[in-house]
Structure 1
Amino acid sequence: MRRTEFDRLVTGEFGDAFGSWIAGSHVLSAFGATAGELVERGADLREVWWALCDDFDVPEDRRLGADE
């Protein structure tokens, strides 16, 4: 997954402001770090996205984002 896709999914699910806050401050239970920290470390963005979905109980049907 590319960074632009990751950002699109986060913004689409959580909105601009809340998505930015989540990425910068929520420590993902699966990784022990924030999404922002993991992105900087070069982590697999797909795994980071799935971890966000798990932590925030995003339903399966919304985990791939909105149909465009």
Structure 2
Amino acid sequence: MMEIVNIHAAKAQLSEYLSKVERGETVIIARRNKPIAELRPISASILTKKSRPMGLAKGKIHWVEDAFAPLSDS
């Protein structure tokens, strides 16, 4: 189900609309009855954090030996 609400109503009743989104509904937010945003549930794939394997840049980064040496006084 999809519902269209103007910004004033969305601001005044945000908790109510978020409850609807949690139930799987979509809420369209409009300014002067012109749709500008969509409030919908987040897909489960976005919520799962995938760890990146170590060493992806191995051999691609090089620095000179004295890169971490103290700087001179000047």
User: What is the TM-score normalised by the length of structure 1?
Assistant: 0.25
Higher relative contact order (CA 8 A, sep 6+): 1
Structure with the higher fraction of residues in helix conformation: 1
Structure with the higher fraction of residues in strand conformation: 2
User: What is the TM-score normalised by the length of structure 2?
Assistant: 0.23
